């Protein structure tokens, strides 16, 4: 299995964006750590701020040997279209969040994606991504 990490809107600014919530580390830096740790497994990364591009990527990779780790950012709480894409593909998709969304504003408590994802990991900072990879590898 290959791992594809997909990050949605504003996650390109990790390290700069609300560091009291999301931490000080850039995703590129964290990704390099992950790739070193799982050197035997290809870990690919895609980020877009655009809903349709996230859907295109899920469609493109979702019928082959990928396990997908998806942090859809705020689209988690708004996007029926992303939920439909996840429901359509055959690859397992794990929903992740850096923050514990249940500790935050009530509009973050609902996810359109959770019912169509294999599982959900949230609240462990960037380590949420590693936990999702572990879950995919243990399937």
Active-site positions read: 22, 97
Query: 24-63 mask for ligand DQA (x: CB under 6 A)?
Result: ----------------------------------------
Taking the complex as a whole, how short is the minimal distance between the CB of residue 44 and ligand DQA, in angstroms? 19
Site for ligand DQA in 74-133 (CB under 6 A): 74, 76, 97-99, 101, 108
Nearest Cα to 105, choosing from 71, 131, 76?
A: 76
Reduced to 3 states (helix: H, G, I; strand: E, B; else coil), residue 133 is helix
> Where does this chain bind ligand DQA (CB under 6 A)?
10, 71, 73-74, 76, 97-99, 101, 108
């Amino acid at each position: 299995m290959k791992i594809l990490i997909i990050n949605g809107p504003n996650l390109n600014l990790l390290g700069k964006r609300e560091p009291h919530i999301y931490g000080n580390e850039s995703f590129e830096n964290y990704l390099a750590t992950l790739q070193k740790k799982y050197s035997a497994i290809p870990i690919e990364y895609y980020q877009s701020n655009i809903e349709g591009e996230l859907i295109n990527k899920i469609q493109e990779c979702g019928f082959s040997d990928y396990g997908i780790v998806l942090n859809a950012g705020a689209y988690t709480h708004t996007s029926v279209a992303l939920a439909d894409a996840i429901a359509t593909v055959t690859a397992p998709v794990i929903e992740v969040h850096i923050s514990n969304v249940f500790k935050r504003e009530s509009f973050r408590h609902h996810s359109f994606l959770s019912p169509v994802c294999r599982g959900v990991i949230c609240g462990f900072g960037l380590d949420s991504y590693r936990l999702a990879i572990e879950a995919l590898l243990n399937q």
